[in-house]
A and B are shown apart, each in its own frame.
Chain A
């Protein structure tokens, strides 16, 4: 029992350390590299106003566009690593922001509903739930062969329940242990167990897959 408790603590510590590092890199990208590139962009735009040779103006415009694309990619990468909304605004705004990015990346539409009043979660639990949802949505983009997902957040007095249902091909749940993506599923379950919650995945070939996450409040 003592051994299992310390194993859980070590797992939590490893996950927390990784999350801290991801958050640091995300902030460095957004606040450091991103800001510097933005300063270069405004500088180039200023230089352009002083030029009168058409070929130089064209060249500068191309460079400006390249920097714009790089700034956008840095911003998306930063949000993908650790959405700032997760720390500042909470779980629901972070999920909404991620879904926008998810649809524009994979073309899969997510119908999101939140029932009940959003409750405050500890940052550790917020991050855990967010990562499990992120993994579930990524699995759908990779394997489900579907264009639509339904995601419901149900805020109860003592529990948060999240249902993610795709309408895709599904898979045979019995063969899952030998599938490489089962490690991802095992990680989702383990991550929720560490928060004191649960993650249950059910699927049938031809009937899609549902992921049910629950977290005590």
Chain B
């Protein structure tokens, strides 16, 4: 797969989203070209490089649930009121996030990526911020279509 760090347009969208939402962290996970693995390919505002080694587990944690359900999700006060165990949310642990909002990226009609924004404090993302994340996800779908998934085939 093309390294996303070599795609300035992707970095620009993520960096801009970080500023517009006023969050601490933005990350993008995508399904690999071959096989079912979904990995975090790009992050902005990260405190370490753990995200590069994390493979998203299908159906587990916020990213895994989004890939399996295709619906946006929010956590406002991690680790309180979460789905599953604390250890099902490795990106929250790795980046010490307390709140996040994430949406799916669709390719060829299926959820194959996740765009996540997070803060290191308790927070509920308001409608306007949620809309900004969704719009950025749509922009990324357009940029990545053809580059990542072989034209969405």
Answer yes or no: are A and B bound together in one complex. Answer: yes
Q: Which B residues from 87 to 129 make CB contacts under 8 A with A?
A: 87, 90, 93-94, 96, 108-110
Cβ contact within 8 Å between A107 and B36: no
Residues of B within 8 A of A (CB): 35-37, 48-55, 57-60, 67-68, 86-87, 90, 93-94, 96, 108-110
Residue numbers in A under 8 Å from B60 (CB-CB) = 73
Return the contact of B55 from the options A65, A104, A142 (Cβ within 8 A).
A104
SS class, residues of chain A in contact with chain B: helix
B104 to chain A, nearest CB (A): 14
Residue numbers in B under 8 Å from A69 (CB-CB) = 36, 58, 67-68
A88 to chain B, nearest CB (A): 24
Residue numbers in B under 8 Å from A65 (CB-CB) = 36, 110
Cβ contact within 8 Å between A106 and B93: yes
Q: Given A142-B86, A142-B87, A145-B96, do A76 and B57 touch, yes or no (CB 8 Å)?
A: yes
Cβ contact within 8 Å between B59 and A107: no
Residue numbers in A under 8 Å from B110 (CB-CB) = 62, 65
A97 in contact (CB, < 8 A): no
In the complex the two chains form, what is the Cα distance from A105 to B51 in whole Å?
10
Closest 7 CB pairs of A and B: A107-B50, A107-B53, A69-B36, A69-B58, A107-B54, A68-B36, A104-B55
Cβ contact within 8 Å between A68 and B93: no
